[in-house]
Amino acid sequence: MHAPLDFDAEALDAYSRAVVGVVESVGPAVVSIARRGPRGPAGAGSGVAYTPDGYVLTNAHVAAGARELQLEVSFTEGTTTRAHLVGFDHATDLAVVRTSEPAPSHAPFGDSARLRVGQLVVAIGNPLGFSSTVSAGVVSALTMRARDGRAMEGIIQSDVALNPGNSGGPLVDSRGHVVGVNTAIILGAQGLSFSVPIDTAKWVVAELMATGRVRRGWLGISAQNRPLSRELARRLGLSHASGVEVSGFDERGPAAKSGLRAGDVVVRIGTQRVESVDDVHRVLGRWREASDGPLEVEVVRDKELMQLGIVPVEAPL
């Protein structure tokens, strides 16, 4: 009669051990980030130290305005040190700051591509600077739209309970590896929170540490998703039956001078097949500089394929 209860107790105990182990290994690397101005405190959030020499990953909205404000970073073991903003990227809501002293602890990055819906995750914050706050839950979905309308690849939605002071803190898997950066709570969406995947953060961090900003390519087009008939796709040898229809141009952009026309349906850029506007964003997100040469853009025009060469420019701020 008591076997099911014993099983439940064992399962709960295993769950508790997993969460406690994560907190003990990663908690000391989770920091409080406070912004201070001439009139006193100007906001706070959390972050996670990821190198021993004091680089800290957080949200852009936590570090916003920090070039004009003083930053203070506090660790749970009692260390408080000044820090400066290395760079930020509003499109992903990520920022890097660096402390003036070495970090007493740092956390390893994991692999967010391996996350699965239903997997245990733990969110850790440090809103007050002297102790960690912890919430545990499961991954509930892996997609979301960014503030500028882009689909952020593999964005992590979970049922982990967060509060605003935990923004910028890490989302951690059961092995103690950082798999995301907690970034948003959707008001009215009870029990949902969102995190930027660490695979996205790795790329952003590398850009910020190298140049202080994230460079993205820009063509200067407005476009919309457009289905193609399967018969046309087969005749043209396409493996997909959709593309992106060009509807307009920004005259400052390179596409306006490229020979691309309104009504063209883009089906490939470089080696990336294009089925939706999100595919265009992915290609341009990986673009670095004009010296990389033109991108070959393949379009359907008048039911035939044609190729154009376009050299992207850096996206305007």
**Of residues 39 and 253, more confidently modeled:** 253
Say how far apart CA 240 and CA 40 lie, in whole Å.
Answer: 57
Least confident piece of the model among 106-110, 202-206, 283-287? 283-287
Express each pLDDT in 114-129 by its tens digit. Answer: 999 999 999 999 987 7
109 bridge partner residues: 178
Q: What is the pLDDT at residue 174? A: 95
Say how far apart CA 234 and CA 67 lie, in whole Å.
Answer: 55
Told to judge if 61 belongs to the known catalytic residues of this protein, a careful annotator would answer yes
Least confident piece of the model among 3-17, 80-94, 98-112? 3-17
**Which one of the listed residues 46, 89, 93, 199 is annotated catalytic?**
93
47 bridge partner residues: 31
- Contact present, 172 and 164 (Cβ < 8 Å): no
Say how far apart CA 77 and CA 85 lie, in whole Å.
Answer: 23
Q: What is the pLDDT at residue 1? A: 47
**Of residues 188 and 297, more confidently modeled:** 297
Q: What is the pLDDT at residue 6? A: 61
Provide the percentage of residues in the chain whose pLDDT is more than 70.
84
Say how far apart CA 62 and CA 57 lie, in whole Å.
Answer: 10
Length of the chain: 317
**Residue 84 structure tokens:** 């400066």
Confidence class for position 191, pLDDT limits 50, 70, 90: low
Give the three-class secondary structure for 284.
Answer: helix
**Which one of the listed residues 74, 132, 158, 167 is annotated catalytic?**
167
Q: What is the pLDDT at residue 13? A: 83
Q: For the chain, what is the radius of gyration of the CA atoms? A: 23
Confidence class for position 11, pLDDT limits 50, 70, 90: low
Mean model confidence pLDDT for the chain: 86
CA-nearest of 210, 195, 180 to 55 is: 210
Q: What is the pLDDT at residue 127? A: 83
Q: What is the pLDDT at residue 276? A: 87
Average pLDDT over residues 217-233: 93
**Which one of the listed residues 61, 106, 177, 281 is annotated catalytic?**
61
Q: Scan for tokens 């800290």, then name that residue.
A: 56
Say how far apart CA 182 and CA 124 lie, in whole Å.
Answer: 9
Told to judge if 167 belongs to the known catalytic residues of this protein, a careful annotator would answer yes
Express each pLDDT in 129-170 by its tens digit. Answer: 767 899 999 999 876 555 444 544 457 999 998 876 788 999
The pairing of strands 272-273 and 265-269 is: antiparallel
Name the amino acid, one letter, at 269.
I
Q: What is the pLDDT at residue 31? A: 96
